[in-house]
Amino acid sequence: MARFVLVHGAWHGAWCWYKLIPLLRQQGHEVIAPDLPGHGIDRTPVNKVSLQSYTDRICTILDEGEKPAILLGHSMGGIVITQAAEYRPHRIHKLVYLAAFLIPSGRSLFDEAHTHEDSLVPPNMVFDENDPSYVGFRREAAHETFYADCSDEDLTLALSLLTPQPQSPLMTAMQTTTGNYGDVPRVYIQALQDRALTHAVQERMISELPCEQVLTLDSSHSPFFSQPQSLAQHLLSLA
């Protein structure tokens, strides 16, 4: 049986996987879905949140397992799994990017995001001049940006649980090498109707950092809500 580690995206927490986790566990697989520092119910102070703290949490989970994990990152979670693979290449069976940032060494998420002309994310980010440590998101834009094909119930759930996103991890450049990160097999799961990371953006990132396999879902940015069964089938095929 496989060991899945699921890494959520910006503003989100482990709660976003509530439909997917039981589908994988029902097939006998181990599933771990942590809150990253400062997300969900984790109360790490913002001045302690960094890409390194994100990565340290995932590396600790990887180290505790008896077998290498299938490490999945959604959206912003892509930078976390990329950096974790640099530190723990032998503890990862596959990296799975779910509508996620796939960024080469030397570039940050902010560097990449500012090139996404059609994305609905940058124009709807909210910056507080009095507290530059966080970035928020306009609630009225969340439906179209993240959850366009999701149920009203899941939209309500998400809006009640989204939290401000610490800026530091988004501004930190990836530091990877071909000998570590480059040795870990990569799979990309595209969300074809995504308005946060558009299909064109996903294609461009994959062309820059090719993956051994590219799978697709005809979904918005959040298939863990709208198409959990189809997402689970893709993941089970990798196990």
Q: What amino acid positions are annotated as catalytic residues?
A: 75, 194, 221
Distance in angstroms (rounded) separating the CA atoms of residues 51 and 54: 5
Please count the residues of the chain.
Answer: 239
Count of CA atoms in the C-beta half-sphere (13 A) of 45? 2
| Pair of tokens at residue 187 | 């799979």
Burial 3-24 (b: 16+ CB within 10 A, else e): bbbbbbbbbbbbbbbebbbebb
Sign of CA dihedral 176, 179, 181, 185: positive
Distance in angstroms (rounded) separating the CA atoms of residues 68 and 89: 9
Question: Of the candidates 131, 150, 234, which has an alpha carbon nearest to the alpha carbon of residue 189?
Answer: 234
Is beta strand 165-166 parallel, antiparallel or unpaired with respect to 134-137?
antiparallel
Burial of 45 (0-12, 13-18, 19+ CB in 10 A): exposed
| Pair of tokens at residue 191 | 């969300």
- Please check whether residue 181 is in contact with residue 94, taking contact to mean a CB–CB distance below 8 angstroms: no
